[in-house]
Chains A and B, each alone.
Chain A
Amino acid sequence: MSEYSVVGQKVKRVDAVEKVTGAAQYGADVHPPGMLYGKIVRSKHAHANIRSIDTSEAEKLPGVRAIITQDDVPSGRRVFATDKVLYLGEPLAAVAATDPDIAEEAAELIEIDYEVLPVVQDVMESIKPSAPRLHSDDTKDGPNRREITGQIRQLSRDKENDHSDEISKLEAELENYADEVYYNISAESHSEAGDVEKGFAECDVVVEDTYVIPRVHQTYMEPHVSVASADSSGKITVWASTQGPFAIRSGIAGTLGIPLTQINVIGTTMGGGFGGRFGVIITHVPAVLLSQKTGRPVRVQMTREEEFIDGRPAPGCVIKLKTGATKDGRILARQALAFWDSGSVSGASIGSTIRVRGVYKIPNLKIDAYGVHTNKSGTAAYRAPGAPQAIFAGESQLDEIAERIGMDPVKFRLMNMREEGDQVPAGGEEPKVGYKETLEAVADAAGWWDREAGENQGWGVAVGDWTNGCGPGGVYVSVHEDGSVRIFHGSMDITGTDTAISQIIAEILTVPYGSVTIRRGDTDSAPYSTGSGGSVVTFTMGNTAKLAAEDAHRRVLELASERLNTNVENLELKEGAVHVVSAEPPKSISLGELAAYSLSTTGGPIVGKGSFARQPSTPALAAQIAKVEVDPETGRTRVLKLVASQDVGFAINPMAVEGQIEGGTVQGYAWAMMEEMQYNENGNVNPGFVDYRVPTSADLPTVESVIVEVPAPNGPYGAKGVGEPPITPTLATMANAVKDAIGVRITELPIKPEKVVDALKSNGHSP
């Protein structure tokens, strides 16, 4: 028996009925009277100067109510491109019309005179001096040049001694690295621990590889959509499909120079987010501008094609990785040089390159990461941003080391994992995390220790770590006269978080889960809440809900103490009523009676308030094992078994947690095996689900999930964020399984049949 009655239970989701019956209101279901249809006018070239934009023909089209360009943005903040476009699909103007087809036709009638420029799509080409330049002031030194110029700088600072000889020697050395001047750099990030040179020198085995990970789209089911309505007083209402209504409010306010509380953002039911549903420019700002200009509500909704050409997907990257270990299996050094494809703007998660360190005791570590401009749209978060890419490189290479020193991949990982109290590279001590427990759990569940493999079959293992974020939130709890409990907050439900919040409050107020209901406010009514991303919601809003319920609990005991004429110390709330402890005969009063009584008291109704901002989070680990079979002639890979374990701290709703583990693992599988945004000099060439393949249920066996619970000290009931970790190891899990099956290491994703056949051929296998 669990010590809890509602948390830890597989209860039905609070939104199950509305989702299944179709009653849930998504962004595209919002249709205020008089609504117009907006359409973004997009660049037809991946890189071009704009000579002119002529809207005159489009304006003549009956039904067109407004056409806006950057000239119509009073704040001057960039919403539309003006003199230059940097990717196919970049917005140049927007149209509002009485009908979506008219808007579409008007968009086609806008004449744009382009001067087409050379295009660069490959990061390794973009850093070369021969590449077309996207922005000025974008040149940076590579790792060796940085080190040498750093030394020169240090020597020059020493005015007391003459270092001119050393300096000229160093300057000569700098010349050796002439090709290490990188162009088109949007950002850089560097970190170092120990001494990698020394570390590698002590290693018996050193492996170096280049890993290439493609750009992938979050492929949420619902494309971006917003409906904006500006009234005559200037008040703006935005119905937005977003993970963060408060972020959208401040984003619109900042971009358009509108006072914050003159904007009300109403979050609609979200058709998936995965990190990609935070941006304001994509649809929300154009909708507001069009509504301001027309005085009518305007909907701007992206098509699936627009999602691909102008969404904000996850960045692809190239990671050059080097790892060294002793022959008895100790990893001594690891060095990474990464180039992240950030597209036309900065913002790729280059800092995540650090995740190549994994959860291992690696004393010597050096990371150099660069964001590189290409003629693609910008990027955004996607489920553990940057981690799947870095961990693919790190965990693939670990298997190569394990193979060379003849160690079992699971044992090799277990041996190198950090333990409680170890120094963390970033500083501080390692907390208690179920690293080994989680890996051992997946190995046991998958039957790793007595695994068998037929011809062309193989097993792969990998682990990935991630730590949930944390942010501010507020929750109110009211207890009503019928004993039911209502929750009010402003955080968007993301895959069951409202359910977890409801469970926590039901647990504390000792009422049945079914008597708790939850209401979401808009940004005008609800207390501030952080965005629903970064696995924050259950951690942040769970803690907030707990505080609110505890506050209500205090008021309940206070009221009961008045009614039952005894001190609160003698009272206990259980099963929806307050009882006098060890009273004979029993003496109690129900929550409903207390709520009714409260209405005529000086203190007033039972309202609990919870407000929370941050507490340190604890890392989580996901460990996965796959068994695959590869057809060496056609290169097709079939997954025979996929087992995923995760240290979730505490599963507030094990059913929802399993759903997260399965969903994340499947997305990781898809990235490994088929998903890839493809580009050529014209831009994205697979902007739809025909040639951008997402898996169906026919591609995979049921993912077996294994929940491991090592409580997080600051999580509600010990819970950690569960959404992001499960995608992190799967890319490497699949590559490692394919290697085990047919002996070739695929370092460039996705593992498409052609790549497998070609790798086998270059490995001397005749087709």
Chain B
Amino acid sequence: MKSFEFFEPTTLAEASRLFAEEHAQLLAGGTDLVIGMKAYTETPQSVISLQRIPGLAGITTYGDSINIGAMTKVREVELSADVQQHHTALAEGASEIGSIQIRNLATIGGNIAHASPAADTVAGLLVADAQVDIASADGERSVPINELFTGPGQTVLAPGEIITRFRLPKPASGSHYIKHKIREVMDLAFIGVAAAVNLDNGTITDVRIGLAAVAPTPVRATEAENLLSGNAPTPELLEEAGEAAASGCSPISDLRCSAEHRREMVNILTKRTVQNALARASGE
């Protein structure tokens, strides 16, 4: 790896100032950055660790609302009883990342800020309708998760801006995440699909569907959501929703699989994940 300057600031303001410089990279868990540096695909001149800044890690619950600090380990997200109960899809997504050793290092903030369309926590955050809190030396702001990403590896974050927290205000009574992959564990998502629903007397009152690795950014399947919302789920309706999700996405072909296969799997897995979320919502 190339030599670099290493900083361990203790305040967000200091970190933000350092991060605003050119060729600076943030170090959270390091599970993406260090690999990139070893492979010379990342050659930062300065690396700014977030480890010593207090208050960035941990999961706190206020009634139904859950806040997850950006420096929270993915393993903690996976094992949190509150996340498992209210945002099952997110806990399931977290459990799909790498190995346990990796999950004990990797942070949810890093998984999101890396802005891979295939990130395993992203579909769960999309269907949780998470708010992303961002800090910089100039102050704080907040964006909805579905407005964070602008392209592969690209976000709306300005130079010096650091993700501090994910706020998950709306619990879902049923949610589920499915990852299409070859290997049982330690595989990257060929595609990822999450669904979250609330039911009222057999009618879908809330529904959110998040898709990973089928477009330049993680996306919501809004057409499919609109078809389902306000209706009682039927097999025919689920079929339509699956097809709507598939035709609404824009996957690519790469060495893992073809765009056509990805699209077909969006159809199949949207049906399945909505069905599973519905089953959970109705206590099955």
**Residues of chain A whose beta carbon lies under 8 Å from any beta carbon of chain B:** 101, 104-105, 305, 633-634, 636, 673-674, 678, 685-686, 690-691, 693, 695-696, 698-699, 752-754, 757-758, 767
Contact = CB atoms under 8 A, between A and B. Distances in A.
Contact of A698 (B3, B185, B265): B185
A17 to B, nearest CB: 25
B167 to A, nearest CB: 32
Contacts of B183: 674, 693, 695-696, 698-699
- The DSSP consensus for interface residues of chain B is loop
B99 to A, nearest CB: 9
B176 to A, nearest CB: 15
B105 to A, nearest CB: 17
A305 B39 CA distance: 9
B255 A634 contact: no
B34 to A, nearest CB: 14
Q: How many of chain B's residues touch chain A, expressed as a range?
A: 20 to 34
23 contacts: A101-B1, A101-B2, A633-B268, A634-B265, A634-B268, A636-B182, A693-B182, A693-B183, A696-B183, A696-B184, A696-B185, A696-B186, A698-B185, A699-B184, A752-B182, A752-B257, A753-B190, A753-B257, A753-B261, A754-B257, A754-B258, A754-B261, A767-B264
Contacts of B268: 633-634, 767
Contacts of B2: 101, 105
Q: Give the interface centre of B1, B182, B184, B265 by most chain A CB atoms within 10 Å.
A: B182
B180 A753 contact: yes
Q: Give the interface centre of A634, A696, A752 by most chain B CB atoms within 10 Å.
A: A634
Contacts of A305: 39
A698 B257 contact: no
**Closest 3 interchain pairs by CB?**
A698-B184, A754-B261, A698-B185
B100 to A, nearest CB: 12
B186 A685 contact: no
A757 B265 CA distance: 10
Contacts of A753: 180, 182, 190, 257, 261
A693 B258 CA distance: 17
B39 to A, nearest CB: 7
Given A104-B40, A691-B188, 17 more contacts: A105-B2, A634-B268, A634-B269, A673-B182, A674-B183, A693-B183, A696-B186, A698-B184, A698-B185, A699-B183, A752-B257, A753-B182, A753-B257, A753-B261, A754-B257, A754-B258, A767-B264
B264 A757 contact: yes
A160 to B, nearest CB: 63
Contacts of B265: 634
Q: Give the interface centre of B1, B39, B190, B265 by most chain A CB atoms within 10 Å.
A: B265
A636 B257 CA distance: 13
A674 to B, nearest CB: 5
Contacts of A767: 264, 267-268
Contacts of B258: 754
Q: Give the interface centre of B3, B258, B261 by most chain A CB atoms within 10 Å.
A: B261
Interface in B6-33: none
B141 interface: no
Contacts of A690: 188
Nearest to B186: A696
A693 B187 contact: yes
A514 to B, nearest CB: 36
Interface in B239-284: 255-258, 261, 264-265, 267-269
A634 B261 CA distance: 9
A92 B269 CA distance: 48
A674 B182 contact: yes
A674 B255 CA distance: 13
Contacts of A757: 261, 264
B114 to A, nearest CB: 14
B257 to A, nearest CB: 5
A678 B256 CA distance: 10
Contacts of A758: 261
Contacts of A693: 182-183, 187
A205 B268 CA distance: 39
Contacts of A699: 183-184
Contacts of A101: 1-3
Contacts of A686: 255
A104 B264 CA distance: 44
